Homo-oligomer: A and B are copies of this chain.
Amino acid sequence: MLPSVNASHRKVLSPINTPSRLLLGPGPSNAHPTVLEALSRTPIGHLDPLYVQLMGEVQELLRYAWQTDNRLTIPMSGTGSAAMEATLANTIEPGDTVLVAIKGYFGLRLADMASRYRAKVVTIEKPWGEAFSLAELEHALATHKPAILAMVHAETSSGVCQPMEGIGDLCRAHDCLLLLDTVTSLGGVPLFLDEWKVDLAYSCSQKGLSCPPGLGPFTMGPRAEAKMTARSSKVPNWYLDVTLLNQYWGSDRVYHHTAPVNMNFGMREALRLLAEEGLEAAWARHRSNAERLWAGLERLGLQLHVPEALRLPTLTTVRIPEGVDGKAFSLHLLNKHGIEMGGGLGELAGKVWRIGLMGYNSQPANVDRLLNLLETELPAFAPAGLSAVVAA
């Protein structure tokens, strides 16, 4: 005898009717229209020969985007944060020292995650808006002798791009793996994983790749693979266990979990578009639109938070003028104009707006539209004295 059905949670809803937004915050960013079309194709089986072929294409194009030959290059079936956790979960053994170089929110997250895998976590920190020097990193490596140095290439919370020259060599000299967050750089900012001797990296499907959020590109080089293979115990995370995932993504095609096939349709299209444009062209486009934005913001009298040499082309932090309610202005942009701009996190909460120009969104027309709104509508949110400055 079955009980009767309780209808108290049976909400009656109209079909979905979300508006079309221009997402110029830290993410998600807009997806390319043909990526959205790919997403809505009829699913095929995750062991279908055609899907197996598509998996190979996605892997190969990810290698191109990252400039790596790494065999173990796959999209994790979760968002960028899942791929981030995968880099740590597969390589940390309890008691390993993990050095995290923190210069923003995502460095803090790396430290939290590493601690959950029973690493001995040590950190070095810089203010949010600065980058690490080689000397600072070398000193920390020599002091702490970590098994892994984890750091963020493109810090989404501060808008800083960490210069990478020489860091890989330092890590090899100190017999340490180099783990790099490339969430806000992949597809938009020059990245040369192999050349830079990066052993582990992760990213997301949105931002520079112009696919919606939901997949987490992951890559692991031979030195990291050797550390994983030498583990004395199973990876303490089943879903993200690369030793199992590799049997599915590798030549064996052993069932692990049911792949998010539609998201991978979108990913394949997003990576195809990037390869069609070419990395050099995509990077140059991001750079040129960012420079157009920076010049425009300065023309309006607004202050950029990061010195130009360290500025990310994909994500710009601009200081909220004194006296302006930054959140009120963001809400105004969203509700009146359908444009999303981000606020600050952590140290920078309430102090900056974060403007993303990533992937499909990195277009001069988007820059001009935003600058125009800042010029014409920000003064109304500023104290009287400031209006003149902003509207000057």
Contacts and interface: CB of A to CB of B under 8 A. Distances in A.
Interface of A: 2-3, 5-13, 15-16, 18-21, 23, 25, 27-31, 34, 36-46, 48, 50, 54, 57, 60-61, 63-64, 67, 69, 77-82, 85, 109, 112-113, 115-118, 190, 192, 195, 204, 206, 212-214, 234-240, 255-263, 265, 268-269, 272, 275-276, 278-280, 334, 340, 345
16 contacts: A2-B190, A3-B192, A10-B64, A12-B275, A15-B38, A15-B272, A16-B265, A21-B44, A43-B206, A43-B213, A79-B260, A212-B260, A212-B261, A213-B261, A214-B260, A214-B263
A269 B18 CA distance: 12
Give this chain's copy count. Answer: 2
B39 A18 contact: no
Given A61-B9, A239-B85, A259-B79, A40 B42 contact: no
Contacts of A27: 258
A228 B162 CA distance: 38
Contacts of A115: 234
B265 A263 contact: no
Contacts of A257: 79-82
Nearest to A53: B18
A78 to B, nearest CB: 4
Contact of A239 (B8, B43, B81, B117): B81
A268 to B, nearest CB: 6
Q: Is the interface of A mostly helix, strand, loop or mixed?
A: loop
A98 to B, nearest CB: 14
A54 B19 CA distance: 13
A340 to B, nearest CB: 5
A258 B64 contact: no
Closest 9 CB pairs of A and B: A214-B260, A40-B40, A81-B257, A9-B64, A9-B63, A212-B262, A36-B40, A78-B78, A113-B238
Contacts of A31: 42-43, 262
B50 A214 contact: no
B78 A77 contact: yes
A90 to B, nearest CB: 12
B213 A116 contact: no
